[in-house]
Structure 1
Amino acid sequence: MIISTRTYLPFPRSLVFTTYRDRLSELVPYMPNIQRIVIKSRQERGEHIEQVNEWQGGGDVPAAARSILDESMLSWTEHALWDETNFTTAWKIETHAYTEAVLCKGHNRFLEQDQGTLITSEGELSIDSNKIKNVPSFIAKMVSGVVEDFLGKKIEPNLVQMGEGVHRYLKQHTP
């Protein structure tokens, strides 16, 4: 499954880029689908910053759905490499459910536009049913389809919602 979003923010590229990279925990109140973000590590190497962040989603999941969804299906670890020279980030997501079977990776570009910044996010999501352990193969294929559909319906809207959250955050915190 291809992941692709475009978000325009009417703020300078360097401000948008550093807000996404450095203010992640402060953005949680602006993203209803996210309960918390914990920064696990951050290593600076010149113009590159490597971060590992643990996300807990499910902020807007109805109570009835929560009883069906395992908590691990609503959390993930993000590995990101930020390149300040090119205003890009390469990311990989490790789901906490079916980790060995899920591949989710991509990159964001922060492009300078008239009076603002265009953020393009492109990536891929795939699930290898052969890597779902301890489940008969016919059930694994069904599970992989359900998980891919669930994740696919969450990732793109979450990327858009993050852009909207950054927009609201910057409106409140920029003179």
Structure 2
Amino acid sequence: MKTFKSIQIVKIPVEDAWLAIRDRLGELVPHLDEIESVAVQERTTQPDGDIFLVNLWQAKAKFPAVLSTVIKSDMLAWTDRAMWHEKNHECAWQIELHFAPDRTRCTGLTTFEPALGGRGTRITFAGEFSLNAKGLPGVPSILESTVAAAAESFVTSLIPGNFRKLAMAAETLANATPQVTSAG
């Protein structure tokens, strides 16, 4: 198991960052060069106002053509299940990779806190990822722990950078959306 953590400050209020990332992921996709699409599969509002979301993510294929026989498009897809706790602006999530759901585990917590005197948001994205390489086809048993450690390091090095891009896309989207003000 390998942990990861990314902290990003965006120059929009907590509520704007919260709503952009929770409710407008589809609109953020054009700002995320590694993501092809995000589709909401389920959205349920709980009695306490919390929202449970299931999103299907599809990454863009960015690998040499020679690897296309090894890496299939379903390997670049994942489902995220998240409970968005409105009261404390926290999101507990779990990601299921489509290519090895029984071999991987990725869970975490994203928090949204006021920053910059209330004009900004400090978003903390933290979690853990593990891969069970035992019996993985094509991997000799003597290399299972090495392969697992390498994969965990690779994945956990990618996640924080992608999260920073998501946070910055939320800031861009929120700043591009006209603010509603009351006349008066």
User: Would you call these one fold, judging by a TM-score over 0.5?
Assistant: yes
User: Residue 104 of structure 2 corresponds to which residue in structure 1?
Assistant: 102
C-alpha displacement of 1:3: 1.1
Higher mean Cα deviation, 153-162 or 131-140?
A: 131-140
Spell out the pairing of 1:1-175 with structure 2 (5 A cutoff). 1-45=2-46, 46-58=48-60, 61-64=62-65, 67=68, 68-113=70-115, 114=117, 115-130=119-134, 132=136, 137-138=141-142, 140-175=144-179
Separation of aligned partners in 2, 1:16 and 1:97? 31
- Could you tell me how far apart the structure 1 residues matched to 2:66 and 2:20 are? 32
Q: CA deviation at 1:58?
A: 2.4
1:102-143 CA distance string (max 9 Å, x none)? 110000100011121100011111112237479653464454
1:33-64: CA deviations, max 9, x gaps?
100001100000132100000101126x1443
1:149 deviates by 3.5
Larger Rg: 2
| Contact map agreement 1:111 1:119 (CA 8 A) in 2 | yes
Shift in CA distance, 27/136, structure 1 to aligned 2, threshold 3 Å: same
Stretches of structure 1 lacking an aligned partner (at least 5 in a row): none
What is the aligned-residue identity percentage? 28
TM-score (norm 1): 0.88
**How many angstroms does 1:146 deviate by?**
4.4
Assess if the C-alpha contact under 8 Å between 1:101 and 1:131 holds in 2. Answer: no
How many residues are treated as equivalent by the alignment?
174
Q: Which amino acid in 2 is paired with 1:42?
A: R
Residue 162 and residue 17 in structure 1: after superposition, are their counterparts in 2 closer, same or farther (change >3 A)?
A: same
